[in-house]
Structure 1
Amino acid sequence: MLKGISPLLNAEVLQALRAMGHGDDLIVADTNFPSDSIARQTRLGKLLRIDNVTAADAVAAILSVYPLDTFVDDAAGRMEIVGAPKEVPAVQQEVQKEIDKAEGKSWPMISVERYAFYERAKQAYCVIQTGERRFYGCFAFRKGVIPPDAK
């Protein structure tokens, strides 16, 4: 255990989040996402896990240490529902609340068509699979920067 760091963030996840640079994508996926096969195509090349928690709990832990990219409009994305792209299910609403809380302001997610989401995931730095069992619990987050301390 580390002081001030969520115990959900295991050593492998922390190492990956630390290694990522500005502009790298992180995918947070539900249990139905083809996580292992997609993860093998990412920069990291292997699947990471935060087991037995909802997508919202995993995202809250991740965003406690991970800055979102303020230079782009697609720093936070959600997989859209096939046939109902404007519908936002409860799992995505819960994650939206965690994003807004972490950023201290409204930060709407963009909607990403299912197959476009798979392609974005293949180009990502890594995939973290959660214990989320609800459909459409898949999200993409682009890493931003942490400014230097003011002197």
Structure 2
Amino acid sequence: MLKGIPSIISPDLMKVLMEMGHGDEIVLADGNFPSASHAQRLIRSDGHGIPELLSAILQFLPLDTYVEHPVGVMAVVPGDTVQPTIWKEYENIIHEHERSFPIEYIERFEFYERTKKAFAVVATSEKALYANIILKKGVI
């Protein structure tokens, strides 16, 4: 065991965070997302929600300040009546750990394509709809 690492961050997840370089992306996927079929590297975080995981990750992962949108979420599909409330929670968590960034809203199939290119995907048990989020790693 190590001191100061939240128990929600598994050894596999910590290894991936350490291996990521500037500009690499990691996807935190909700329970409905097709994680296994879209991931180059799949990290399981079953039983956990994205907000608690996001808060723990941002203790270690700097966001990229050299791009306009170091954070992106899957946009609501046109015609869907869902209004995601979890996005405001993400904004609050990011602001708590980093400075505020404008969040990019990424069309569903474009989000899937970015996920396929991401360094890793973390599959969670998050139940909120449209809870998927992409983080771009910055520099220390």
* Band the TM-score falls in, shorter-chain normalisation: over 0.9
- Provide the rounded CA distance (Å) in 2 between the counterparts of 1:119 and 1:75: 17
Relative to structure 1, is the Cα distance of residues 131 and 29 closer, same or farther in structure 2, using a 3 angstrom cutoff? Answer: same
State whether residues 69 and 101 of structure 2, in contact with CA within 8 Å, keep that contact through their aligned partners in structure 1. Answer: no
Q: Within the alignment, does 1:76 sit opposite 2:80 as a pair?
A: no
Identical residues among aligned pairs (%): 40
Correspondences of 1:1-150 after superposition (within 5 Å): 1-39=1-39, 42=40, 46-83=41-78, 89-103=84-98, 105-146=99-140
Amino acid at match of 2:123: Q
Amino acid at match of 1:58: L
Aligned to 1:149: none
Amino acid at match of 2:24: D
Q: Name structure 2 gaps, 5 residues minimum.
A: none
SS in 2 for 1:64: coil
State whether residues 45 and 122 of structure 2, in contact with CA within 8 Å, keep that contact through their aligned partners in structure 1. Answer: yes
State whether residues 70 and 101 of structure 2, in contact with CA within 8 Å, keep that contact through their aligned partners in structure 1. Answer: no
TM-score by length of 1: 0.86
- Provide the rounded CA distance (Å) in 2 between the counterparts of 1:19 and 1:95: 24
TM-score by length of 2: 0.93
Q: Name structure 1 gaps, 5 residues minimum.
A: 147-151
C-alpha RMSD of matched pairs (Å): 1.6
Shift of 1:84: 6.3
- Provide the rounded CA distance (Å) in 2 between the counterparts of 1:110 and 1:20: 21
SS in 1 for 2:105: strand
SS in 2 for 1:61: helix
Shift of 1:69: 0.3
